[in-house]
Amino acid sequence: MRLSTRIALVTAALVPVLVLLSGLLLLGLVSRDLHAGQDAQLRQRAAAALPDARVLLRAADNGRQRQEVNQQHRLTSVALDVGVRLTGADGTQVVSEGGQPAPDVLLPAATGNPVTVRSGGSWRALGQPVAAADGQQAGTLWLFSPASAVQNEVASVRGRIVLVALIAAPIGGLLAFGIAERAARPLRRLQRSTSGLDPDDPATRLQHRPTRVAEVDDLARTLQTVLDRYDQQAARTGEALETARAFAASASHELRTPLMSMRTNLDILAHPGLAPQDRADVLDDLQSEHARLLGLLTALRSLAQGDLVQADSFTWTDLTDLVESSAADARRRVPAAVITLSSPASLPLPGWEPGLRMVVDNLIGNALVHGARPGQPPRIAVALGRDGGQALLTVDDTGPGVPPDQRQAVFARFRRGPDSPGSGLGLTLVAQQVALHSGTVRITEPPYGHGTRVEVRLPLAQERSVTTTLALRRDWLSG
C-alpha cells in the first residue's frame, strides 16, 4: 500500500474521532452555558416577581379579594414564560400558573438557588422565601422552567457535531491523500533514481538534487554513503582477488627453479654409489634451496598483507623501541656483525607496526648480506632521528655499494644479484611499507665515501590521532 494511501486512511479515521472529541468538549460547554442562562433567567424573574408576591400574600391575609386578584394578574405577567407557584406560610397554594410539576410532587427547601425537579419530565426550579413586614416568612415563591428546552438545544448541537464528523471523514481523507501525494513526490523521484543503479556498473551514481525535505535529503545522503562504501568494498574485494591471483602466479613462477633444483638433488641422493663428500654437498644445497623457498613464500605473504592492510590497523607505534628491538635481534643472529645504533628516547608515530618492523628488519638484513667486504665482518650503522615533521631512519653499510643507475631498480620485485641468497623481495617490501605510510625511501652515498646508505623518511602526525589515509598504490604484488 502506498504511503499516501496509508496517510489518507489514517486521516479519514482520525478526523472524525478528533471532531467527535472536540464536539464532546463543545457540547459540555454549550450545555453548561444553556443551563447557566436558564438559571439566570429564573433569578431575573424571581427578582421582578418577589415584590408582587409579597403584596399578594399580604392582601390574601387581609381578605382583600380585589387587590388579591389584581396582584395575581401582575404576578403572572411578571413571570412571563416561566411557571409560577406561590404558597403561604402554612403551605396553602395561593397562585399556580404556567408549566410546572404536579402539585403532589415534593419540592426541596427553598434556598434561592436553582435545582432540578423531575415530575413528568425535567424541570429547573427556583424557590425564593417571601418575607413579611415583621421579617417572618410569609410564604414561598417558586418559578419553574422546563429543562427540555435546554435538552433540545443540546441534542441539536449533538446532531450537528455528528454530521460534521461524517462529512469531515471523506473530505479529510481526500485532502490528506492529495497533500501526501505531493509531499511524497521527492521520495518517489529518489526511488526512481535508485532503482536505476547498477552495482556492477561504477559509472552509475546516485544523482540527487536537494528537495528541501529534510528526511528525503538525509535518506539520499545515507544512500550515497552506503553506495560509496559498497564501491570501496567492491574495489578492495577486487584488489584482494587480484592479489591472490598474483600470489599464486608469482609463487608458481618463482618456485619452479628451486623446486626443480631440489628434485635434481633428491635424485642424486638416491644414487647408491654417491660419495660421502658429494652427499654432504648435495644436502647443503638442499638446505640452501629450502631456506630460499621458505624466505620467498614468507616475502610473498608479507607483500600480499601489505597490499590488503586496512587503515584501522594503524596504531601509535614507538619507532625507537621497534628499531632497537630489530637491531638486537640482528646481533643475536649474526654475532660477528658490528651494529651501532643511534636513536632518541622515544619517537611515536601512527603506523602499522608489523609493516614498520618489516622495513627495519629488511634494511638491516639486506645490509648484513650485501654490506660486508670480503674477509671482514659486516659493519652497520643504524641512526634514527627527527628531521622537522619527519622521522629519519638511515642504515649504512661498508659493502661494495649500489651503482647510481641501479638505485631505483633494486626496489622492483624479484630483483637480486647473481650471488644473492634472498628472494629479491626484501627491498620491495621496504618500498611498499614506506609508501603505505606516505613516506619516501632512497639509496644514497654514505658520509664516509664507500658502501651504501638507505634513507627512509616517515611523516610524523601533528596531533595524537591515528586517523590516516592509505596510499593510493596498493598493487605491489599484483601490479
CA 317-320-326 angle, 5° bins? 95
Specify the pTM.
Answer: 0.49
278 and 400 both lie in a single domain: no
pLDDT of residue 472: 46
pLDDT of residue 360: 92
CATH code, domain carrying 67: 3.30.450.20
pLDDT of residue 323: 93
Alpha-carbon 278 to chain mean position: 73
> Hey, how many other C-beta atoms are within 10 angstroms of the C-beta on 349?
19
CA dist., res. 114 & res. 126, Å (int): 4
- Residue 183 domain-assigned (yes or no): no
Strands 390-397 and 452-459 turn out to be antiparallel
332 and 468 both lie in a single domain: yes
Q: Could you list the residue range(s) of the whole structural domain that residue 355 is in?
A: 309-479
Output the CA–CA distances (angstroms, integers) from residue 110 to 44, 321, 347, 458, 473, in the order listed.
16, 105, 102, 105, 104
Residues 402/442, Cβ–Cβ less than 8 Å? no
CA dist., res. 416 & res. 424, Å (int): 5
CA dist., res. 42 & res. 82, Å (int): 8
- Residue 384 domain-assigned (yes or no): yes
Residues 197/208, Cβ–Cβ less than 8 Å? no
CATH code, domain carrying 441: 3.30.565.10
CA dist., res. 439 & res. 417, Å (int): 26
Residue that terminates a domain, selected from 308, 336, 369: 308
* Backbone torsions φ then ψ of 349, nearest 5 degrees: -155, 155
- Strand, helix or coil for residue 13: helix
Q: Report mean pLDDT in 10-residue bins for the chain, 479 residues.
A: 73 80 84 86 87 83 78 80 85 83 84 84 87 80 85 83 82 79 73 67 64 73 74 65 60 63 77 78 75 64 66 85 93 91 91 88 88 81 91 91 84 65 73 87 83 91 50 53
pLDDT of residue 414: 63
409 and 367 both lie in a single domain: yes
CATH code, domain carrying 273: 1.10.287
- Residue 191 domain-assigned (yes or no): no
294 and 415 both lie in a single domain: no
pLDDT of residue 233: 67
52 and 115 both lie in a single domain: yes
213 and 254 both lie in a single domain: yes
pLDDT of residue 203: 57
pLDDT of residue 386: 92
Instruction: Provide DSSP, 317-365.
Output: EEHHHHHHHHHHHHHHH-TT-EEEEE--S--EEEE-HHHHHHHHHHHHH
pLDDT of residue 248: 58
**Locate cell 397554594: which residue?**
93
434 and 368 both lie in a single domain: yes
pLDDT of residue 237: 65
211 and 302 both lie in a single domain: yes
CA dist., res. 111 & res. 421, Å (int): 123
* Backbone torsions φ then ψ of 102, nearest 5 degrees: -65, 150
Domain count, the chain: 3
Residues 74/90, Cβ–Cβ less than 8 Å? no
Alpha-carbon 385 to chain mean position: 44
Rg, the chain, Cα only: 54
279 and 332 both lie in a single domain: no
> Hey, how many other C-beta atoms are within 10 angstroms of the C-beta on 317?
20
Give alpha helix (H) positions in 100-184. 148-183
CA 137-138-140 angle, 5° bins? 85
